[in-house]
Structures are given as C-alpha cells and as structure tokens.
Structure 1
Amino acid sequence: MSLQDSGNPGPQHDGPTEPRPAPEATRRGRPRSEAVEQAIFDAVTGLLEEGVPLAELSIERIARTAGVGKATIYRRWPGKEALFVEVLRSVEPEDPVLTGASVRDDLVTLLEALRQRGLVKRASALLHNVFSQMQAYPKLWEAYQNTVIEPRRRLGMDTVRRGMELGEIRDDLDVEFVNDLFIGPLLLRTVIRPGATLEPGLAERVVDTVLAGLRPRP
C-alpha cells in the first residue's frame, strides 16, 4: 500500500507560483504563515481523530479541510510523509536539551523524555491510532525513523561515548550496545508491555542501576 496520492502528479498542477512579496510584506506576513501551518496541522489531526485512515489522507483532502490550496502545502512539505512526521512531532513532547555538565544527568534527561513520550502516547488516542497504522507504510515509517528516532538515538550514543571518554563508563564495550542498555527498560514498558508503570523517578533508577554495572574495572 502506498501513501502517494493516486493520480496526483505533484505541485506543478497546483496553479502558478505566487509573486515573491517585498521584504517588509514578508515580515508582516509571518504570523499569517504560522497560522496557515497550524491550520494544516489541525486539518490533519482533525481528520485522523475522525477516523480517516492514513491511506485516505490525500494532500487535496487536507488542503480542502484546512481551507488552503494544494500549492500552499507543497511549498512547505515535499509530500505527505514529511507533513505527517511534522504533525507527529507537534503533538509529542519537545526534544530534551542536554546541559553537558554531567553524563549521568544527561542520561537521566534523555530517559525522562522517553518516559514522558510513553505517557503522552498512552493518553493520546490519535498517537496510538497513527502508530498502529504507520508501520504498514514503509515510506512514512522510514521518514519518522530518519527524522525523529535516529537523531534521538545519536544523542544517546554521543552521551554514552562522552561517558567512556571521561572514564565514567567502561570503554571496552560497544557504544550502541551500552545505549540500548539504558533505553531498553523504557522501551520495554512503552512498547512491549504498554500496561507497565512509567512512574516518576524511573529514569533516575534505570540510569543509576546501569551505570553501577558499567563503571570501569579497577
């Protein structure tokens, strides 16, 4: 099954390009641009909440619901996959900001963000519905993995690598393997055991327990 719009050749059929506004007009128009993007996001989430399957969410239908032209959407996103990924990001908690002051604290921050995402996904019928469908669409799943999951995974591995360089984590282990040891318990409780508790303090407990076993050997 494809997410591509049937018979939709792309933005070249959406009418002539609008003239470029003057610099001052661009500055004045920025809030309106943000409002347009929000209207598009609201259209996508509204249709999904109504139970419209991903396969039936064409750019044309989204544009009609948002009250904009198809060209308006294509100017911002190359296709539905990119738009859907950004909509998902808009309803998830923001990515954490690491201070870099402490490897332990940065790991806790990363895992706490993962815990919060698990709670949001449990509480959001929209996210639960979308994720249950998304893996059936390889292009969308790949786009989400590349633009959302992979950057977060690299952030975790960079933190682990810093811990190895500072002598806080054994450096005779594979970085990716060590990163999996930290995030594994959270993923287990959010994916494999969705009914398991995600209590406050879980991130600290996981980080401190794993770090205790990963201290460099004498």
Structure 2
Amino acid sequence: MIATEQRNQPKEQRRGRPRSEAVERLIADTVVKLLEEGAPLADLSIERIARTAGVGKATIYRRWKGKEELFLDVLKAVEPTDPELPGTSVRDDLIAMLEALRQRGLAKRSSALLHNVFAQMQNYPKLWAAYHDTVVEGRRRTGLAVVRRGMDEGVIRSDLDAELVNDLFVGPVLLRAVLRPDGPLEEDLAEHVVDAVLKGLAPSRPAGQPG
C-alpha cells in the first residue's frame, strides 16, 4: 500500500528530501571552493555564497541561521570523522580516541584548507565557541566516559579526578598535533601514550598480590 501511494505521489513531492540534501551539499561545496581559492572568512557573506552557488539567500537561511552555523557544518564535514569506539576494552577505546586525534593533526598539516580555516577561527569568537561547544566538548565527554569506565573496571585509579586523567591521555597527542607543528606523529603514538599513562595510573596492589 505504501509503495502504491508513493508511486501515485507527484514526482516533486516524493523527491523533495533528496533535492534538499543536494542543495545543502551544493552550498557547503561552494563554501569549501571559495576557501580553497583563498577567500578569507570575513569576505564570505551569505550573499556571496548564495550568488556563487546559484541559489537565493533565503535558501541558505532556511537551513542555517547565519554564516557561523554554516561554517561550522562545513568544518565538521571536511575534518576527519570521529570513529565509533570499538568498546572491546578501555585500552582499545583510548587508543581509538587518540588515534583519531593524531589523524586530525596529520590532516591539518597536509590540508591547506583546514590549516587556513583553523588559523582564522581564532579571530571569530562566536564560530570558535560554537565549534568548541558542539565538537570539542563532545569529544571531551566521550573521553571522560571511557576514563570513568576504566575507574569502574579497576584499570585506572578511582581516587583521581577524571578530568585530569583525561587530560593526561589527550595532552601528549594534542601537544604534538597543535602546539608543535613539527612534532612527530608516529603511527604507534596513540598506543604508546595509552600504555604509558595506563601503567602509571594503574591501581596499586596489596603486597604479595601478583601483578
């Protein structure tokens, strides 16, 4: 019955959603194209983006409240995606989390677009705050959940502050990925960091108990 109803619907009604997604991709691709051509964020007005994409400004405003929200979606689209954590162990999840951070660091080194956008974002407090609240904060919550699970499972000392422990894992990779542009980002960096920190934060065992 549903299939029959869909066949009887006008073509435009049936395909409205895919066409909407195509327009969104067109607008996002237009922003990426302009940035790749060297246009600074300050020059990317909604009017210019709409004109270049061949759509009306209202088409953009129906999807995004303003250019900060549009830029945020574009940035999330061009960044490497966050992987789904394997869930096999606390160690495996921490390694997957830090490996994603390492990959983002490599991407920002190799992509002129990402490097350029992140450099400019510091001058746009609203855009940076939105990125932090929706992207960075989400990653931090994921890390904290893994750390707390490690504490519950006895892998990490439970008397420590979870925020601090999360920083101890993330800090070394973040330092090399962001603060040291020439810092090495070896393939096994995530594994080495996780194993070193886990060893240092392992709960102490009573004397005579095997390790």
Q: Is TM more than 0.5 here?
A: yes
Once the 2 structures are TM-superposed, how far is the Cα of residue 108 of structure 1 from its aligned partner?
Answer: 0.5
Report the secondary structure of 1:94's partner residue.
coil
Structure 2 counterpart of 1:55, one-letter code: A
1:58 matched to 2:58: no
Distance 1:24 1:50 in 2: 37
* Matched ranges for 1:1-218 at <5 A: 25-218=12-205
Shift of 1:25: 3.9
The alpha-carbon deviation at position 24 of structure 1 amounts to 6.8
Structure 1: runs of 5 or more not aligned: 1-21
Cα deviation 1:90-117 (Å, max 9, x = unaligned): 1111111013221100000000100111
Return the letter of the residue paired with 2:20.
S
Which residue identity does 2:187 align to in structure 1?
P
Q: Indicate how the Cα distance of structure 1 residues 173 and 40 shifts in structure 2: closer, same or farther if over 3 A, else same.
A: same
How far is the alpha carbon of 1:42 from its aligned partner? 1.3
| Letter aligned with residue 36 of structure 2 | E
TM-score by length of 2: 0.89
| Higher Cα radius of gyration | 2
How far 1:48 sits from its partner (Å)?
A: 1.1
TM-score by length of 1: 0.87
SS of the aligned residue for 1:78 comes to coil
Q: Which moved more, 1:204-213 or 1:47-56?
A: 47-56
Q: Residues 164-209 of structure 1, C-alpha deviation per residue, up to 9 Å, x if partnerless?
A: 0111100111101000000111111111111111111111111011
By relative contact order (CA 8 Å, sep 6+), the higher-ranking structure is 1
Q: CA deviation at 1:120?
A: 0.7
One-letter identity of the residue aligned with 1:102: S
Spell out, residue by residue over 1:36-56, the C-alpha distance to the aligned partner (whole angstroms, 9 max, x if none): 111111111111112211111
Amino acid at match of 1:177: L
RMSD: 1.4
Structure 2 unaligned blocks of 5 or more: 1-8, 206-211
Amino acid at match of 1:92: E
